[in-house]
Amino acid sequence: MRYAKFTKPLTIALSPEVYNVLKEISDADRVSMAECVREILSEMIAPYLDMDENQSKSKANREEESNGSN
C-alpha cells in the first residue's frame, strides 16, 4: 500500500511574473509546479531545520548532563 507523502495543502497567490517564471522552471525541469515550489522551499528552510535539530540536540544534551550530575 502506498502512503501519501505530502498531506498538508497550501494555497498561495502569486504575481503573474512569479507564476510565469515558476511555470518556465517547472516546464524546463519537467516537474509539477508544486514540486518546484517544494524544492525551492526545502532549500530555503533547510538552515532553519538544521537549527531546530541542533537546538533539540543541545537541549537533550543539557538535560542529560543535569540528570547525570544528580
Give CA angle at 11 (15, 2), nearest 5°.
130
What was the pLDDT predicted at 17?
98
Helix/strand/coil for 14: coil
CA distance 9 to 55: 28
Is 26 exposed, middle or buried, given 0-12, 13-18 or 19+ CB atoms closer than 10 A?
middle
| Whole-structure pTM value | 0.64
pLDDT, tens digit (0-9, with 9 covering 90-100), for 1-56: 888 888 999 999 999 999 999 999 999 999 999 999 999 999 999 988 887 666 66
Provide the pLDDT for residue 67. Answer: 67
